[in-house]
Amino acid sequence: MKKLMTSLLVFMFFLMAFAQVYAVIDVDASGIDPSEKEYIKIRQLLVQVRENPLREESFDYLEKAISLCNRKSSKAELYFLMSQIKQHTPLKGEYKSYAESLDLQGAKDDIDKAISLDNTQAKYYSQKASVFASVRDFYNAVKCCDEAIKLDSKNSDYIYERAQYNFYMKKYDDALKDVSAALEITKKPEYYYTKAFYEKEVGKKQEALKDIEKAIEFGDKTLNYYLYIRTRAELRLELGIKEEEAVKDLDTVIEKEKYNDNNKYWAHTIKGQFLETKEEYAKALESYKAAEKLTELKTFFQNKIKFLENKLNNKE
């Protein structure tokens, strides 16, 4: 179950990263000073970027826009945008992995340029932290978050971001302290979800269950709502309480989850494991067969299915 909860937190972390990339897609000139002499031309270049920011051609448009700026703050804003796009845009050519196709050094250089031009923007330090995290330098990522928080202590996202990096350094107490502080500022369901995970890591399972309930309360109609429902089921089964309600939660996920097949896959798997422990082999078999259809990792389920079929045949 610990491995499963870890996979859930990693999923949430990358979901947040995806949300940041999606935000980049809505590129605008809002950070550019309207008094720029070439403001209209800069806006036109950013329209080109907005059409498809995660492509190499966007770098050329942004370089042209930067060359037209005569204000440090405007140049800084464009370098900030350039850093974000470089962090997530695969370069053309053959690479061993997606990570190697990214110009992460270029992303770091660009955000450093932005900071050198304007060191008063908390979001620049947050972006630098994200770049450090991309190369798994979580120590320096935390240091950058510290700078962002100094500049904007009321922004819960910077505190929550630092919590993530503390977690990856296995500083669970610090991570829990940060996510709790973030919740004091803003009640977000993903914060409650993550807090529950951290509490579980330090053995506070009952508190984790309470925070999952909060995630469900605040996360109604959000993309991750059924992830929270499934997590509640897992915690209940792990604690050995309200097992029937936990199974109902899993059934709800199986029936109503429309966006995340991985979520349905785990719901079927967890249900199968629980039913197997209760020696309800026929129902467990159904769950495992459903899970097998949703994954490429067939061997585990093929062995489970064969094992349960043999059990059922021997009973007959």
Nearest to 121 by CA among 111, 107, 131, 132: 111
Res 74: pLDDT: 93
**How many residues in the chain?**
316
Domain presence at residue 269: yes
Res 293: pLDDT: 93
Is the Cβ–Cβ distance between 65 and 46 less than 8 Å?
Answer: yes
Res 120: pLDDT: 96
Global confidence as pTM: 0.84
Q: Mean pLDDT of residues grouped by 10 in the chain (316 residues)?
A: 51 47 52 86 89 86 93 94 92 85 94 97 97 96 98 98 96 96 97 94 93 95 93 96 97 95 96 95 94 89 88 75
Domain presence at residue 241: no
Domain presence at residue 251: no
Res 27: pLDDT: 61
Res 227: pLDDT: 95
Please state the domain count of the chain.
Answer: 2
Q: What is the dihedral of CA 121, 127, 128, 129, to 10 degrees?
A: 110
Domain presence at residue 270: yes
Distance CA 279, CA 307 (A): 13
Res 23: pLDDT: 46
- Count of CB atoms situated within 10 Å of the CB of 14: 10
Is the Cβ–Cβ distance between 230 and 243 less than 8 Å?
Answer: no
Residue type, 57: E
Res 250: pLDDT: 98
Q: Which two tokens stand for residue 308?
A: 């349960």
Domain presence at residue 39: yes
Domain presence at residue 110: yes
Nearest to 265 by CA among 236, 294, 228, 289: 294
Residue type, 45: L
Q: Which two tokens stand for residue 92?
A: 């053309």
Contacts of residue 73, Cβ cutoff 8 Å, sequence gap at least 6 = 33, 117, 118
Res 15: pLDDT: 47
Is the Cβ–Cβ distance between 294 and 261 less than 8 Å?
Answer: yes
Distance CA 24, CA 107 (A): 14
Domain presence at residue 81: yes
Range of the domain at 27: 20-90+100-119
Domain presence at residue 207: no
Is the Cβ–Cβ distance between 306 and 296 less than 8 Å?
Answer: no
Res 221: pLDDT: 82
